[in-house]
A and B are shown apart, each in its own frame.
Chain A
């Protein structure tokens, strides 16, 4: 293709020998944004340019990079041979009034290119130059964009190479199996609804004499939308993407001159929490403070289980399991209710054990709806202008996590069921929230370049007071039979009204985590719960304030914090059994 286009110019090339210096080749990257609006713009990314050079060439008054007249475009002919030559094609691409050079770029079938986007020439914030072109660059050619400093000799210049570089990614972590995105440094001539071909390469291991066989699957796909940073493709049926990378290839897209571009890449499900440097400790805790409401955070973790087993001479073995299951917990699965910022996030908390285990023998489904509020946000009533915006005071705000919705409590030992309405709020003050995540973010916010290089803090703490209200009823009247000669235990239906108040604190020191949940529940109405004494079942009537404290120390065994040894001390009464517990549990905690 390249030879076809430029065959007529080889003999009259303006030779620059090796004059195109290697200066700053790696500092400035040239690419075209996607979409018809940007087909005639070349974006030069200056973000990697040293600050002094950026000021000298683009920022200071009269900087050469701020004047389009100082730019030239050269095409590189025979780039892969020793006969490499460059030819000035600025007249074809930049400015029709430039003097004619010895070569030109004939485009016999030049399509009508759309208007240019209305963007700044030098984009200070985006750290880029948007160089207007007369027509798009060819995807199958090599170019050099040169910026000259007219006040100095001709050797004082910046040369920026441009060649087509394509990529294939999975843009949406929630739709990793049905969405792909392709990008190219050259502008792609794509239209929404255009059909493309997606194929998957796979090597199948065969036991026969011929050994492994390489095969593939083909998927039908269409262009779904065109973003400035790539073309989004919708794939049907869903790709078999899991935790292992899948090798894919996309064909059917071209540049504006019809040159086909092939995209290849590996895509896979992103590991949860990678951009924060692994799963966040606060996130992986989905046990519920107070043993009652939903977790404060929505996270990667959707299962936590703590298992314990005790056996001794002359006694039956004791098994206990407690934890939580949150099927929609990974953020990729969350369901937002009609852009209300209310998320449906059901959790099931369980604490069960064998007959002689000191567990509360309950399964609790707390409120399923979560909504975060941020207090102290600035308002735009005064219509901040750019100057005022830059001077506006930064602030740390107050976070409130609210959960609300129906709640159900099941007594797994005796069969009682409570159905309640629940509302809960947790308050996060900036002074009491110095978590590891906050400290990492505070450093990384203003220093993104060193974000992944620093040994960031691994110590932090957070203390959050909370308030919770439950109201409802014990829905089933129970008659629990006892051995002969003893009256059965009878539990009627009754109304329930409770208010919880307390705080949840957590401190992290490297792999060690200490958490404390201290609360009191005020039972406004008397509740009736069965309990076992020997082989008999009796009932207890509970009202008034009931304290409960739970302290847990965990040390993570593995780097990804999936497994932890845990020691937990619990003291007090908890719904629905209200059995008084004062126990220490040593367990293995598994989080996924």
Chain B
């Protein structure tokens, strides 16, 4: 089995920084609203949790410069929208695999090296 791939790592990191959820506490099929509601009391997932998730995602080193992440809309995270589970976001973010590879390559070779 392959080790954690870059997209998986950056998504798990985004979720952890978003609401403090450890990756062992949810699964790929978990709903984002469940993860949020478990860890953040009193603040509604719609729209505050969604806005925070997108803000956190845009701040990520890989997703911040990835079109697939930038194309996501708040309406897709709302009930009835296309992005409800970790898996749905993960599949969408697969398009960031190239930018993730480029990012890793950049980090491996510093500009002064």
Q: Give the B-binding residues of A (Cβ under 8 A).
A: 33, 35, 37-38, 47, 58-59, 63, 66, 117-127, 169-176, 181, 225, 227-230, 269-276, 283, 296-299, 331-332, 334, 336, 339, 341, 343, 370-372, 374, 376-380, 384, 386, 389-390, 392-401, 426-430, 432-433, 435, 437-438, 440-442, 444-446, 448-449, 451, 462, 464
- Shortest distance from the beta carbon of A128 to any chain B beta carbon, whole Å: 9
* Binary A-proximity of B84-111 (CB < 8 A = 1, otherwise 0): 1101101111110110110000000000
A341 near B51 with CB under 8 A, answer: yes
B22 near A392 with CB under 8 A, answer: yes
* Binary A-proximity of B12-52 (CB < 8 A = 1, otherwise 0): 11001111111111111111011111111111101111111
Partner of B28, one of A37, A47, A441, A442: A47
Contacts A/B (CB < 8 Å), 9 sampled: A171-B76, A228-B92, A336-B74, A339-B58, A386-B9, A390-B22, A390-B23, A441-B37, A445-B31
- Shortest distance from the beta carbon of A498 to any chain B beta carbon, whole Å: 24
| B49 (CB) vs chain A CBs: closest residue | A372
| B42 (CB) vs chain A CBs: closest residue | A428
Q: Which residues of B contact A395 (CB under 8 A)?
A: 20, 39
Q: A126-B94, A389-B13, A445-B25 are in contact. List 4 more A-B contacts (CB 8 A).
A: A37-B98, A172-B75, A229-B92, A445-B38
Q: Which residues of A contact B88 (CB under 8 A)?
A: 229
| B90 (CB) vs chain A CBs: closest residue | A126
Partner of A227, one of B16, B30, B68: B68
Q: Which residues of B contact A172 (CB under 8 A)?
A: 73, 75-76, 81-82
Q: Which residues of B contact A392 (CB under 8 A)?
A: 16, 22
B30 near A124 with CB under 8 A, answer: no
Partner of B55, one of A229, A339, A389: A339
Give the distance in Å from the alpha carbon of A66 to the alpha carbon of B1 in the complex: 7
Q: Which residues of A contact B31 (CB under 8 A)?
A: 275, 444-445, 448, 451
User: Given A127-B28, A173-B81, A378–B76 Cβ distance below 8 Å?
Assistant: no
Q: Which residues of A contact B51 (CB under 8 A)?
A: 336, 339, 341, 343
B41 near A47 with CB under 8 A, answer: no
User: Given A33-B94, A433-B42, A377–B17 Cβ distance below 8 Å?
Assistant: yes
Leading 4 A-B pairs by shortest Cβ distance: A270-B80, A428-B42, A174-B75, A433-B41
Partner of A399, one of B13, B42, B79, B100: B42
- Shortest distance from the beta carbon of B24 to any chain A beta carbon, whole Å: 7
A377 near B87 with CB under 8 A, answer: no
Partner of A386, one of B4, B48, B80: B4
Q: Which residues of B contact A448 (CB under 8 A)?
A: 27, 29-31, 34, 85
Give the distance in Å from the alpha carbon of A199 to the alpha carbon of B79 in the complex: 26
Partner of A228, one of B25, B48, B68, B98: B68
Give the distance in Å from the alpha carbon of A416 to the alpha carbon of B67 in the complex: 53
- Shortest distance from the beta carbon of A40 to any chain B beta carbon, whole Å: 14
A119 near B5 with CB under 8 A, answer: yes
A117 near B97 with CB under 8 A, answer: yes
- Shortest distance from the beta carbon of B69 to any chain A beta carbon, whole Å: 11
Give the distance in Å from the alpha carbon of A444 to the alpha carbon of B26 in the complex: 9
Partner of A123, one of B5, B19, B25, B27: B5
B1 near A58 with CB under 8 A, answer: yes
- Shortest distance from the beta carbon of A96 to any chain B beta carbon, whole Å: 24
| B3 (CB) vs chain A CBs: closest residue | A386
B34 near A120 with CB under 8 A, answer: no
A441 near B47 with CB under 8 A, answer: no
Give the distance in Å from the alpha carbon of A126 to the alpha carbon of B80 in the complex: 22
Give the distance in Å from the alpha carbon of A339 to the alpha carbon of B59 in the complex: 12
Give the distance in Å from the alpha carbon of A427 to the alpha carbon of B49 in the complex: 16
A124 near B1 with CB under 8 A, answer: yes
B20 near A378 with CB under 8 A, answer: yes
- Shortest distance from the beta carbon of B70 to any chain A beta carbon, whole Å: 10
User: Given A126-B90, A275-B80, A438–B37 Cβ distance below 8 Å?
Assistant: yes
